[in-house]
Copies of this chain bind each other. A is one copy, B any other.
């Protein structure tokens, strides 16, 4: 591959000048500019981004950590993120943390070593220890789902307590009195808020938290199915279940139907996210819609502002709104 030195030699100018026709950071006479451009074209010169990044301290890369790319919520988020970031020529380094035996910690260390300009961490449990190296490297961080233990990091999320409160209250208003909950994996970000919102709604309605009716899944369809089976083992069934995401709600539906019961007549089901599958499954799933694409886009904007900023990070918190989508499972 030709280097900037080769271009300079062929064009009869200095490397400095070639660099400046490339970057536009200093005026270059139209004539030399043209000559250089021609040579670049002839030689097929492609500037080495590594060398550029090493000097200029900007890699044009943002790392994205998601727990599971096969949960459609995250591709949608990634798409929104790319939309924001592409405008500034950033590329996405994607890490599906759920795969292999690499932990969040290993991916973060890798991102730091690669000197990415920013990191987006979606719905993942991260310790203060994990974030120490990130903070030391002064890499901008935006988290999705919950605030991270790093000074002034931005967060964009749905109001998880309100999401769960509103979904559960909707079930209460439909006349349900025995409402179960399939929660997210303990320790992962939106799990806690959604569990709290569920309990708050029951309390607000003057209902007891039914015994053994709050179980946790792992955010997957299989996990939701297993959780629902455990709920159905109890002598008295719930008449409705609030599931902390759609994938688990779909798994719960599998279990209800497999048990010979009907949705919603025997057990009503509500999910969260509104992934496409929610509208495809039969009965179609009632769910609390969270705009994944918008979250990604907002996360991207926040990150860009941080990367560009010379002031200390502020620690903003952006809430996206949720919306009940009523279908046939309730």
Q: Which of A46-54, A156-164, A193-201, A318-326 contacts B (4 or more CB under 8 A)?
A: A46-54
Contacting A94 at CB < 8 Å: which of B94, B136, B250, B277?
B94
- Which A residues contact B (CB, under 8 angstroms)? 1, 44, 46-51, 53-54, 59, 61, 69-70, 72, 74-76, 78-79, 82-83, 86-87, 89, 91-96, 99-100, 102, 109-110, 112-115, 132-133, 136-137, 221, 250, 276-277, 280-282
Partner of A82, one of B49, B86, B100, B277: B100
With A93-B93, A102-B86, A250-B280 in contact, do A50 and B46 touch (Cβ < 8 Å)? no
* Smallest beta-carbon distance A128→chain B, Å: 14
How far, in angstroms, from A117 to B58 measured CA to CA in the complex? 20
Query: Can you tell how many copies of this chain the complex includes?
Result: 2
* Contact of B72 with A70 in the complex, beta carbons under 8 Å: yes
CB proximity of A193 to chain B, nearest CB, Å: 26
Residues of B within 8 A of A136 (CB): 1, 44
Cβ-closest chain B residue relative to A72 = B72
Contact call B277/A137, Cβ cutoff below 8 A:
no
Residue among B50, B86, B95 making CB contact with A54, cutoff 8 Å? B50
Contact partner of A95 among B91, B95, B102, B110, CB < 8 A?
Answer: B91
B86 touches A133 (CB 8 A): no
| Least distance between A122 CB and chain B CB atoms (Å) | 14
**Which residues on B sit within 8 Å (CB–CB) of A112?**
46
B83 lies within 8 A of A114 (CB)? no
Additional A-B contact list (18), CB under 8 Å, known A70-B79, A276-B277: A44-B132, A44-B133, A46-B113, A46-B133, A48-B113, A50-B53, A50-B54, A50-B115, A54-B54, A69-B79, A78-B96, A83-B100, A91-B95, A92-B94, A92-B95, A93-B94, A277-B280, A280-B282
Shortest distance in angstroms between A126's beta carbon and chain B's nearest beta carbon?
A: 17
